[in-house]
Amino acid sequence: MKELTEEFLAWIYGIRNMSARTVTAYRRDMELFLSLLDEHIENLRDVTLADMQLCISRLSGKKYSPGSINRFIASIRSFFRYCLRMGYIGDNPAASLKTLKAPRKIPRFMFREEADEICGLPESAGILWPERDRALFEVLYSSGCRVSEAAGLTLESLSRDLSGAGVTGKGGKFRRIFFSGDAEAALRAYLPLRKLHIPAERDVRNLFVSRRGAPLSVRGIQYIVERYAGRTAEGKPLSPHAFRHTFATSLVANGADVRVVQELLGHSSISTTQRYTHITTARLIDTYRQAHPHGGGLEESEVNRVVQDSLTGVESEKK
């Protein structure tokens, strides 16, 4: 079982081109699966559907969230599909493994005023590296790229006029991302300073670097966003992914075709993009108040219910 697990992980990394972070998540789930199986089970062909259901029951008993359990189930399904494909088993006991019902969380996104505030904070906060941080926030906000894609941007990936860049997203898929005028201006202010922070003996091609000239990691970008989020008017926690959600909801709210947004985000499935048509709470409120004579009395709890119902509808369409 352990040998097959390592073979499976090598396959999804080398053949399926999954990212190192995704492979790490699969590894954690597979190690958890092996630890939960009864000790007498050593051979792959001895694992039954009942054994898998028992593992899930044990995770529930340990208070794992439905989302974490469903990710665990997805990993197990992928592993057994691989084993079936390679002929290690004659049938797939994980094929009938059902996921748990879990409430869809509304992605955290910013309204325009909030996004403008955090993009402007580096100039006034007096912390970290203002020029770099402004350029980073503007790139995230105007392109909708993933944090891993932002960390992977290089000087060579930028267009000559700084109007966009090429990125390689999930599954090794290449796409173009585009920058706003504000992002272009921020990059022009940052790039000359970036050069001064790179030691002469080092050849660092990453666009975003630390003050010591080292490439910014995903965790480094997360740290920068967290530092500024604490200085906003609301002071609420914020992740780099909120910029991506904001990018998507802004486009959809302003009438962009969902399939165009899908291409810009690099989503492989349209159903993943469709959720953004249902989460702009402010738009729901405005529409209700304008269309209904008593719309001014709409409670926030009712809006949340409408949003949740919409998300549930998207999940049903996906299935």
Helix ranges (H only) for the chain are 2-14, 20-36, 49-61, 66-85, 112-125, 130-143, 147-151, 181-197, 218-229, 241-253, 258-265, 270-274, 281-291, 300-318
223 pLDDT tier (thresholds 50, 70, 90): very high
CA distance 122 to 112: 17
Q: What is the pLDDT of residues 29-51, one digit of tens each?
A: 999 998 888 666 777 888 889 88
CATH architecture of the domain 112-249 equals Orthogonal Bundle (1.10)
Compare 263 and 39 and report the one with higher pLDDT. 263
Per-domain residue ranges of the chain: 2-96, 112-249, 278-319
The superfamily (CATH) of domain 2-96 is Tyrosine recombinase, N-terminal domain (1.10.150.130)
> Does the pLDDT of residue 205 top 80, yes or no?
yes
- The answer to whether the pTM exceeds 0.75 is no
Q: Longest Cα pair distance anywhere in the chain, in angstroms?
A: 69
Among all residues, which ones are annotated catalytic? 146, 170, 241, 244, 267, 276
